[in-house]
Amino acid sequence: MVGGTALTLQLGHRRSIDFDLFSNREFANDSLLKNVRRFYPVDKVYVKSRGQMTIDVHGVRMTWYQFPFIVPHQINWEKIITVPDVPTIAAMKIYALGQRAKWKDYVDLYFIFKQYSLAAVMKIAGKLFGIEINERMVREQLNYFADVDYSQIVEYLPGMSVSDETVKACLKQIAVS
């Protein structure tokens, strides 16, 4: 497991709205869907394409991605599932900003950067993504919010709420420092 859910398990900052599961190997959507249906009713199939499948199970959105990079899963959470550590998730989040700009990713990065520097995250991103990551572009993305998708409401956990303006100001400061 990766993404916001894996991060929430470690930081406890917001509710997760979906499950993101990654593999660096190809998978067969029909076989995967059949296996899920053996245990749970699938309410809806949103995406079923090569390298990606998104479904709803009991109102929970689940997405499987074929991710072309090997991402280490350093943490074994409750002996149930493995997840990357926070700096690795941060590297994945900044990579994702280049693909899509979702507000929840900016919020996640705000909380991550309270503990880790952009330089530390960029170092990991460079190891994971090589030439596919560009620090100048990352800094621009952290400082630009005009095309951000705000459609998914961020629901903060108790004591963690922060204003959008605070998130933006912090990320802008990180981007220019």
Query: Would you call 129 helix, strand, or coil by DSSP?
Result: helix
E strands, 2-144, are: 18-23, 42-49, 52-57, 60-66, 75-77, 81-83
Which residue range(s) make up the domain with 7? Answer: 3-24+67-176
Q: Does residue 159 belong to any structural domain of this protein? A: yes
Q: Does residue 115 belong to any structural domain of this protein? A: yes
Closest by CA position to 71, among listed 123, 129, 18, 113: 129
Q: Does residue 29 belong to any structural domain of this protein? A: no
Mean pLDDT of the chain: 93
Q: How high is the pLDDT of residue 78?
A: 76
Residue 77, pLDDT > 80, answer no
Least confident of 1-5, 52-56, 77-81, 152-156: 77-81
Q: How high is the pLDDT of residue 36?
A: 94
Q: Does residue 14 belong to any structural domain of this protein? A: yes
Q: How high is the pLDDT of residue 30?
A: 95
Q: Does residue 59 belong to any structural domain of this protein? A: no
Closest by CA position to 140, among listed 166, 114, 86, 101: 101
Q: Does residue 36 belong to any structural domain of this protein? A: no
Q: Name the percent of the chain lying above pLDDT 90.
A: 73
Q: Does residue 104 belong to any structural domain of this protein? A: yes
Query: Would you call 67 helix, strand, or coil by DSSP?
Result: coil
Digit-coded pLDDT (tens) for 13-69: 999 888 888 888 899 999 999 999 999 999 999 999 999 999 999 988 999 989 888
Q: Does residue 47 belong to any structural domain of this protein? A: no
Top pLDDT among 116 and 81 is at 116
Number of domains in the chain: 1
